[in-house]
Amino acid sequence: MPRSICSETCPSGHIRNYQDQCCWVCVSCREDAYVFNDTCKSCLPGYAPNKDKTDCDKLKALVIEWLSPWALVPLIFSSFGILCTIFTTCVFIRYNRTPVIMASGRELCYVLLSGVLCCYSMSFIILAKPSVETCAVMRVGLGLCLSVCYSAIFTKTNRISRIFNRGVKSIKRPVYTSPISQVAIALGIVSIQLIGAIAWLVIERPDIREIYPYPLTAVLTCRVSTFSLIMSLIYNMILIILCTWYAFKTRKIPENFNEAKYIGFTMYSTCIVWLAFLPIYFGTNNDYKVIVDRITTV
């Protein structure tokens, strides 16, 4: 039996585009839009159309799953790094009074190892579900752990430089080269970063927020301004530059102190990694930031 209509009723998520007074063509709305009064309306950020495309529902914010590749890769690297750091610390403790360990500046080595352990441990904080507490720990720990490492390296290279530069001009021993003085200097350098991080927490309270990197996608993350994060990392950048400078100055010292050459190689590599780290980190989405951060630490 012939039908007396020229167009079928449009399915869900479609609107009628009239060709004449009685006939129309069904047009599909975008995936992030719903149908309202025969027009397509976009959902607000953080919302998605319901099944029938008649209204918008709140999206469930995504977090990094611990079993996802974005989490497993950093966790494997960090766990291996933690085990290696603990093993190295145990070796230092076991042979604490041997000439080799004592000559290496064991006190600063312990400071450096604690900083490395802290850096690897930060992976678990970064990968945890964002909350006010984890965001606060991350904001303090991210810069503090790095400053512990670089303060030890800076103090060590500065000491070597002062000893040999002073030896050329005078036989008198330079001041503040004892182990206690070296640890005090390193802790003083770290305290500057700690005070700055605490002040940052007071001025800009830690909080969480949702970001929308793609349509129909909401990601839960810590609320922090890019400017504040850069300011937090500037102090460590200054330490890296100073460490690199002193490592370069002490590159030709006698063989008995050839650790300066290894420190120099480490600092040159660090500068290259950081030059790559900054634009990649600030130019990627939240999921990739964790990977970039962990690779930089390693």
Residues 126-185: pLDDT tens digits? 888 889 999 899 888 888 998 999 999 999 888 887 877 665 555 666 777 788 899 999
The answer to whether 274 touches 233, Cβ cutoff 8 Å, is no
Lowest mean pLDDT among 2-16, 23-37, 48-62, 211-225: 2-16
5 to 1, 156, 229: CA distances (angstroms):
12, 88, 63
Q: Residue 169 has what pLDDT?
A: 59
Alpha helices in 24-131 (DSSP H): 69-94, 99-103, 106-127
Q: Which amino acid is at 85?
A: T
261 to 36, 146, 192: CA distances (angstroms):
70, 21, 28
Confidence of residue 65 (pLDDT cuts 50, 70, 90): confident
Q: Which residues neighbour 11 within 8 Å (Cβ) at sequence distance 6 or greater? A: 26
Mean pLDDT within 19-29? 81
Q: Residue 278 has what pLDDT?
A: 64
The chain-wide mean pLDDT, for the chain, equals 81
133 to 78, 128, 202, 208: CA distances (angstroms):
21, 10, 14, 10
Beta strands in 175-250 (DSSP E): 208-211, 219-222
Mean pLDDT within 198-211? 88
Q: Residue 63 has what pLDDT?
A: 84
* Residue 8 token pair: 């079928």
Query: In the chain, what are the domains?
Result: 14-58 (no CATH), 69-297 (1.20.1070.10)
Q: Is the pLDDT of residue 285 over 80?
A: no
Measure the CA–CA gap between 97 and 106, rounded to whole angstroms.
Answer: 9
Mean pLDDT within 186-192? 94
Residues 165-181: pLDDT tens digits? 665 555 666 777 788 89
Measure the CA–CA gap between 151 and 183, rounded to whole angstroms.
Answer: 9
Q: Which residues neighbour 119 within 8 Å (Cβ) at sequence distance 6 or greater? A: 145, 146, 149, 297
Residues 214-251: pLDDT tens digits? 888 888 888 877 777 777 778 888 898 888 888 888 77
Residues 94-123: pLDDT tens digits? 998 888 888 778 899 999 999 999 989 988
Q: pTM for the whole thing?
A: 0.79
Q: Is the pLDDT of residue 281 over 90?
A: no
